Amino acid sequence: MNVMLYTVLGIILFSIGKTFFGLAKKYRKNRFVFTIIGVLSFVVGVIIYILIYAALINILPVLNRYIHEYLSFAVGVLIAVLIHYLLEKKWKQYKNVDAEQAIDKIGEN
Q: Are 83 and 18 in contact (CB under 8 A)?
A: no
Percent of the chain's residues with pLDDT above 70: 85
What tens digit of pLDDT does each residue of 74-97 get?
999 999 999 999 999 998 887 765
Q: Decide if pLDDT at 31 tops 60.
A: yes
What ranges do the domains of the chain cover? Answer: 3-108
* Mean pLDDT along residues 53-78: 82
Please report the pLDDT score of residue 19 as a whole number: 96
